[in-house]
Amino acid sequence: MNRLSLNQWTTRRWSVAEAVAGCVRHGIASIGLWRDHVAVHGLEATAALVRAEGLRVSSLCRGGFFTRPGWREDNHQAIEEAAVLGAACLVLVPGGLPSGSKDLAGARAQVSDALAELAPYARERGVRLAVEPMHPMYCADRSVVSTLRQALDLAPPEVGVTVDSFHVWWDPEAPAQIARAGDRIASFQVCDFLNPLPADVLLGRAMMGDGVIDFPSLCAAVEAAGYTGDIEVEIFNADVWAADPDEVLTTMRKRYAELIVA
């Protein structure tokens, strides 16, 4: 249970202070923070709060979107924020096709170039980057990096990856690519995949056990690859967001025990 982390977006209506208090109340030792919530609470104040409460920061979400104008400045800022927060990594959402473009190969090259450029910047500040391959249904609008194989191929070796159950569960190559990733796994996020998908496919993420993912085999692959870091529960789901966050955390602990570390 000690490796369980609450990704803040799971209880998105909670402020930073409420989410930190929720973690403490439920015996959760780690939290994945979101930059917009952190900005509201204040960067230094958030860093002080999590330190005071003894929580680890399993990740900061998120940098990336390398195919949008202004990506460089935004990512420099995100890296500096991750350093202040002492986050184990900065999660990078690669970004989709540039507005109006159909040049997928070009967009992928942009992501590769941006990662190569940011890697030393992050290294000098002691921040670990974690590029997140995303489900192919988000290829156009959110991530032109669609598989773990591709993420490992296009990022410099010092850049880590985020393995997210929702994004990789379908991939026949996932077990082999998780093994290949080894200590490049900088972040492990879990949630289930709803079937059927809801009208907004971004909200197809569900509590572990409520969808179609075979967690024991996925978790065994990540464990066998040597990953010993925190396991973040990140759920974008209208029903979860509408529920009492304390009930969400209770369910989350139970499902984590049953499915993730069983």
| Angle value at C-alpha 262, between 257 and 164, nearest 5 degrees | 75
| Residue 108 found at the interface with its own copies (CB under 8 A) | yes
Show the site string, 116-155: x = touches its own copies by CB under 8 A, - = not. Answer: -------------------xxx-xxx----xx-xx-----
Query: Cα Rg for the chain, rounded, in angstroms?
Result: 17
Q: How far is the CB of 197 from its own copies (least distance, A)?
A: 6
Residue nearer to its own copies on the CB measure, 33 or 260: 260
Q: How far is the CB of 147 from its own copies (least distance, A)?
A: 7
* C-alpha–C-alpha distance, residues 143 and 152, integer Å: 14
Residue nearer to its own copies on the CB measure, 122 or 134: 134
Residue nearer to its own copies on the CB measure, 200 or 244: 200
Write the Ramachandran bin of 253: left for phi over 0, alpha for psi from -120 to 50, otherwise beta.
alpha
Residue nearer to its own copies on the CB measure, 90 or 208: 208
* Direct distance between the N- and C-terminal alpha carbons of the chain, in angstroms, rounded to an integer: 10
Q: How far is the CB of 122 from its own copies (least distance, A)?
A: 24
Q: In this structure, how many other beta carbons lie within 10 angstroms of the beta carbon of residue 41? A: 18
Residue nearer to its own copies on the CB measure, 32 or 211: 211
Restricting to residues 19-38, name those near its own copies by CB under 8 A.
Answer: none
Q: How far is the CB of 100 from its own copies (least distance, A)?
A: 10
Show the site string, 196-225: x = touches its own copies by CB under 8 A, - = not. Answer: xx-xxx----------xxx--x--------
- Residues near its own copies (CB under 8 A): 96-97, 102-105, 108, 135-137, 139-141, 146-147, 149-150, 169-172, 193, 195-197, 199-201, 212-214, 217
